[in-house]
Amino acid sequence: MFLAKVEGSVVATKKDAGMSGRTLLLLRPMLVDDKDPTKFRPGANTIVAVDTVGAGLGEMVMFCQGSSARLAPGLKEAPVDAVIIGIVDTVDVLGKMIYSGKAQP
């Protein structure tokens, strides 16, 4: 599993039938900064993921990739490589809270 921030949405009107009705969100992976583990640093890449939990713009989410993504309910036959599996409430590193979902606008 990985952490990411929801940065946007993706709309594709023409897509594989297994993807019909699925919400696609654009994620930016968030990494604990190795120089200052009390902060996150954004990853360089973005990922399109299927949203199974109703995540929103700006939220921190947990996602999984690869064959694990198809283990989410209803995705076994879908051509999915990334799926959002949770909305993060808090992240603690070395005994310090570095993220709280309640602090989001």
**Cβ count near 103 (within 10 Å):** 8
Residues 13 and 22: their CA atoms lie apart, in Å, by 11
CB neighbour list of residue 31: distance below 8 Å, 6 or more residues apart: 3, 40, 41, 42, 43
Residue 103: per-residue pLDDT: 56
Per-residue pLDDT tens for 79-100?
888 999 999 999 999 899 999 9
Tokens linked to 62: 């947990």
Residue 15: per-residue pLDDT: 86
0.85 exceeded by pTM: yes
- pLDDT of residue 62 exceeding 90, the answer is yes
Which residue's entry shows tokens 């051509």? 79
Residue 70: pLDDT band (50, 70, 90) is confident
CATH of 2-103, one of 1.10.274.10, 3.40.980.10, 2.40.50.220, 3.40.710.10: 2.40.50.220
